[in-house]
Structure 1
């Protein structure tokens, strides 16, 4: 028995919830919307990646908290901070992908782009010494610190938008969105936040990341 693109191996028609794959075509009932198997497998794979990659957010929060504590380790604080940023970027991309089928997908996409812009600006400024960073951006050395703060604020604004998207999405627990927005405020404060405020922000990010990873991993489209 041949299997068509709109049937499962048992011969039954494949049904995919429209909320996960986009709105149904005009003039068709949502309960009878059918999708080719190859498209459903691709969408399922992307969703599975997004759900698994959300666990990178609590891992990034742990490393960021370690970074804020100033613990001296053999690699130094810079590799720990860079690894935390890399994991956070992976998690934010996964979160935006998970919200792509929700009502707040535009806000999530905007927040992701803003956060990526802030991270792109912050990376060379944080990795290079101040005198080399000043030469790279053609600014006086005294103004590099202001540019770093602007990059932190830009990253925090992006995470704030993603938290608002989580809060309004009705897809996951809205409390996780509130925690993510609170963590974004601390993140946007940058180096102006005195200790232990950055560590508290890392704890808020850890709580939000654990909640999002747990609830996001249980999101399964209705068949």
Structure 2
């Protein structure tokens, strides 16, 4: 019994990833065979890119939740669970955005922005989730200095988002206008309590517009053949 070249030995269809999935461009004068990736590695890279494209939709969802908080509307679970959910969704989206830009020329800026944003979120999480007395005892600061530390954490996280927006703007991979919107949203949201009342809501709207644009265009990215 002969086995078709399109089927495995068990008779199942043979799945072969395209050659351009994650493959690097060979240098001038170099043999092209040295840059061909194994099928398993190519399929893994394609799966990561698909996850990154889908996870970008978490960014507009986080912007909607944060914008709901800025309006001061009372929600049944309270503002803290909604804020934690918004931060969790934003973290997933930023990781996906950095992963999507891993093949762009601004990958180092995107990685730096992701690490800075995660550092700010890590510093902000215990200060926002714990009660005031517990937070003072945990960080060994005076009660008046906790608010300053919260503003510093917000500034650090906003700086990371600002770097990611710059990476989007310079990547030439997606719409550069989404990078501009992301940078403006980072400035508006990073102002924290020093911002005028409508500014956080405007920042949430800018983040929503940037997230929708990135998720829409990122979901249609196809690597070059």
Calculate the TM-score normalised by the size of structure 1. 0.90
Give the distance between the partners of 2:148 and 2:96, measured in 1 at CA: 30
Q: Which sections of structure 1, spanning at least 5 residues, go unmatched?
A: none
1:195 matched to 2:197? yes
1:210 matched to 2:212? yes
1:16 paired residue number: 20
What secondary structure sits across from 2:101 in the alignment? helix
1:47 paired residue number: 49
State the 1:36 CA deviation.
1.7
Q: 2:175 aligns with which of 173, 189, 198?
A: 173
State the 1:22 CA deviation.
4.0
Could you list the per-position Cα deviations for residues 149-202 of structure 1 after superposition, in whole angstroms to 9, with x for gaps in the alignment? 000000000000000000000000000000000000012111111211100000
State the 1:130 CA deviation.
1.8
Give the distance between the partners of 1:131 and 1:189, measured in 2 at CA: 25
Give the distance between the partners of 2:32 and 2:105, measured in 1 at CA: 17
State the 1:220 CA deviation.
1.4
Give the distance between the partners of 2:15 and 2:130, measured in 1 at CA: 59
Q: Specify whether residues 21 and 160 from structure 1 end up closer, same or farther in structure 2 by C-alpha distance, changes over 3 A only.
A: farther
What secondary structure sits across from 1:221 in the alignment? coil
Q: Specify whether residues 153 and 22 from structure 1 end up closer, same or farther in structure 2 by C-alpha distance, changes over 3 A only.
A: farther
State the 1:29 CA deviation.
6.6
2:113 paired residue number: 111
State the number of aligned residues: 217
Q: 2:133 aligns with which of 122, 131, 137?
A: 131
More deviation, 122-131/212-221:
122-131
Calculate the TM-score normalised by the size of structure 2. 0.89
Q: 1:74 aligns with which of 51, 73, 76?
A: 76
2:151 paired residue number: 149
